[in-house]
Structures are given as structure tokens and as C-alpha cells.
Amino acid sequence: MKILCKGRYRIGIATTDAEIRAAQRLRWLCFCSTQMGAAQMDDALDIDDYDQSCLHVLIHEIASGQLVACFRMMMLSGGAEIGRSYSARYYDLSRLNGFTGRMLEIGRFCIHPEWHDPDILRLAWGALASHVDEERVEMLFGCSSFMGTDTVGYEDAFAMLRERHLAPKRWLPRVKAPQVFRFARALRLRKPDPKRAMAELPPLLRTYLMMGGWVSDHAVVDRHLNTLHVFTGLEIRTIPPGRARLLRLAGG
């Protein structure tokens, strides 16, 4: 991924330990600080064993140098390597073993809680589109997170996922994590309100779905990161041409 400057922001790959620590600090602030009641812990970081196997993507505001968003990427040569992924820790992904194209796992995507500019997410997806083209990636995947571990308030979103966006059976993840919310089963009789459902969806997941992405039939309850997350996949060949053009323009 090349360094890209667009509008107020610059996006690129972390090249130093200090830049990776800055990403880990932002991740801690987004995922961990509220539940731990310790937002002022200046040295707190979100670190795991996967960081050393990933490229870390950083988005800065150019004028201030402020890190406003980050995510990490792990490249797999195909489904035979799916067991290496972070997602495989929480989902049985054995049905994806037969996927033959290159795969890119996107993880720990977060935007600074004080920043609400939609251009940040657009730039991230534009840069991802360029990277996918350069590396000939055929599937994007990862865990899309709802904040908090309580399902109350997300019923319409999960009901809409069940009704419209479940993974094809040939790729559908099986349950592996000890605590899950089987929303496809629990909400099978609920008719979602589309407006409420869209408002409840995390922005990253909303974008995946707009491009034709799909999800698991259950959500994992992750108390470490204080999230509910669903496995999310997107086959590049299925992205509508109009959407693909807009993504490439955002990253151009």
C-alpha cells in the first residue's frame, strides 16, 4: 500500500515500532478504555500475538499529525491458510479451506472516538481497493464489531443480517467460541425495521454489506474487547461495478 494523501488526511503503512505503538494505543482507547474505566492511562496498549504478522495501516490528519484511525492486514495465499487468521480463533472456518484465491484479513479497524468525519472511512476503503488490485486479492474478511456485549438495541440489525446477509452455505462459519448469540435462530420470526437496522449497524459492516458482503449466522461475545462481532466476508468479484469504481476513485 502506497502512502496516499487526500483532503485533510494521509494514509500509509506503519514503518517503525513507535508508529505501531501509536496504533496499539488508539486501539486500546477505542476498544478497552471505557470498560476498564481508565481512559487516562497514557501507556496502555492493545497488543496481541497477531500484531507481528500484520501490516498496520495508519490514517493521520496532515495538519496536526493526529492519528485518527488505524487497522491491520494479514495476507493469506488462500483458504488453506485460514487457520492462521485472527478470525479463526473465534469461528470454525473450515468451510473456507477450499477457497483458492488470495485472501486479506482486516482487523482492529477503529476511528478515534473524537473524530466523526465520514471521509476517514471513505479514504480507508479507497486505499484498501488499491491494495486489493495491486495484490490480486480475491476475498476480504474479518470480524465486524458492535460496541458492547448486550444484544439489546441491536435486534433489528441482527434480524436484517439474518434476513438479507447470511453467508452462502458453502462458506458459512460454524460455532467455535464459548459464548455466542445465535441471532439467525433467536430472531427467525422478527421482521426488521430497515431504518432502525441501518442505524444500529457499525459503519464498517454497513460498507461491507453495501458491496455485497455477508456474515456468520451468530455473533461472538468478546468480553476482552467489549464487543459483539460477526464474521464478515466479501468476495471481490461480486462487488457491483459502480461501487468498485467509487472505491477506486476514493483511493486514487
In a domain, 235, yes or no: yes
Q: Quote the percentage of the chain above a pLDDT of 70.
A: 94
Least confident of 67-71, 85-89, 143-147, 248-252: 248-252
Q: Does the structure show a pLDDT above 70 at 63?
A: yes
d(CA 144, CA 192): 20
pLDDT for res 6:
87
For the chain, the distance separating the N- and C-terminal CA atoms, rounded to the nearest angstrom, is 12
- What nine digits make up the cell of 205? 459492516
Cut 0.85: pTM above it:
yes
Distances (CA, A) of 164 to 92, 141, 159, 219: 22, 18, 9, 16
pLDDT for res 88:
98
Distances (CA, A) of 122 to 78, 118, 175: 27, 6, 32
- What nine digits make up the cell of 133? 488490485
In a domain, 191, yes or no: yes
- What nine digits make up the cell of 9? 488526511
Q: Does the structure show a pLDDT above 70 at 235?
A: yes
Q: Does the structure show a pLDDT above 80 at 30?
A: yes
3-state helix, strand, coil in the chain (%, to 5): 40, 25, 35
Give which of 70, 45, 82, 74 is closest to 174, Cα–Cα: 82
Confidence tier at 60 by pLDDT (50, 70, 90):
very high
Beta carbons of 190 and 155 less than 8 angstroms apart: yes
Beta carbons of 14 and 23 less than 8 angstroms apart: yes
Which residue range forms the structural domain that includes residue 237? 72-250
Q: Does the structure show a pLDDT above 60 at 39?
A: no
In a domain, 142, yes or no: yes
Least confident of 14-18, 88-92, 126-130, 193-197: 126-130
In a domain, 183, yes or no: yes
Q: If DSSP codes are grouped into helix, strand and coil, which group holds residue 18?
A: helix
In a domain, 239, yes or no: yes
Q: Does the structure show a pLDDT above 60 at 36?
A: no
Q: Does the structure show a pLDDT above 90 at 172?
A: yes
Mean pLDDT for 58-82 is: 98
pLDDT for res 252:
59
Q: Which helix (H) or strand (E) segment is 121 a member of?
A: helix 118-135
Confidence tier at 21 by pLDDT (50, 70, 90):
very high
Confidence tier at 2 by pLDDT (50, 70, 90):
confident
Q: If DSSP codes are grouped into helix, strand and coil, which group holds residue 168?
A: coil
Give which of 170, 195, 9 is closest to 94, Cα–Cα: 170
Mean pLDDT for 75-90 is: 98
Confidence tier at 158 by pLDDT (50, 70, 90):
very high
Least confident of 30-39, 110-119, 151-160, 165-174: 30-39
Q: Does the structure show a pLDDT above 90 at 5?
A: no
Mean pLDDT of the chain: 93
Q: Does the structure show a pLDDT above 80 at 40?
A: no
The tally of domains found in the chain comes to: 1
Q: Does the structure show a pLDDT above 90 at 175?
A: yes
Q: Does the structure show a pLDDT above 60 at 142?
A: yes
pLDDT for res 4:
84
